[in-house]
């Protein structure tokens, strides 16, 4: 990816944040997780799992947003195909978020319990 392509990609991320309430929620959740990770001093392996989990959720949400936009262009008005496409795409985000939450609980819960 050249410098110009990189700029377009960054713009795409900001557009997704602008369009999607869920994307804003994911960004806030990411900042909270990163901050908590710093406070609880995760080790290298724990950071790797947390960063992979965050990346998969953000990637899924970016693709979901893109698929929603394409679907809205293809189908005008309500349509069963549009519903299925969007629901399946949203399902991908849900799967990523559930597994990310499980990774977060496995890594953070024992540390939070020890912290208090």
Ligand X SMILES: Nc1ncnc2c1ncn2[C@@H]1O[C@H](COP(=O)(O)OP(=O)(O)OP(=O)(O)O)[C@@H](O)[C@H]1O
Which residues carry out catalysis? 61
Looking at 37-45, 48-56, 80-88, 104-112, which segment touches ligand X (CB under 6 A)?
A: 80-88
27 lies in the site for ligand X, by CB under 6 A: no
Distances from the Cα of 22 to the Cα of 37, 97, 103, 115, angstroms: 22, 11, 20, 30
Question: Which CB, 22 or 66, lies closer to ligand X?
Answer: 22
Minimal distance, residue 64 CB to ligand X, in Å: 6
The single residue among 13, 15, 17, 20 that binds ligand X, judged by CB under 6 A, is: 20
Rule CB under 6 A: which residues touch ligand X? 20, 22, 68, 75, 78-79, 82-83, 86-87, 90
């Amino acid at each position: 990816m050249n410098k110009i392509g990189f700029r377009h990609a960054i713009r795409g991320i900001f557009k997704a944040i602008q369009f999607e309430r869920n994307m804003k929620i994911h960004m806030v959740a990411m900042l909270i997780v990163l901050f908590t990770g710093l406070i609880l001093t995760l080790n290298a392996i724990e950071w790797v799992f947390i960063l992979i989990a965050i990346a998969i959720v953000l990637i899924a949400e970016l693709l979901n947003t893109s698929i929603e936009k394409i679907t809205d262009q293809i189908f005008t008005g309500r349509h069963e195909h549009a519903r299925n496409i969007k629901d399946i795409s949203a399902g991908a985000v849900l799967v990523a978020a559930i597994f990310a939450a499980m990774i977060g609980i496995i890594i953070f819960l024992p540390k939070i319990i020890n912290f208090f």
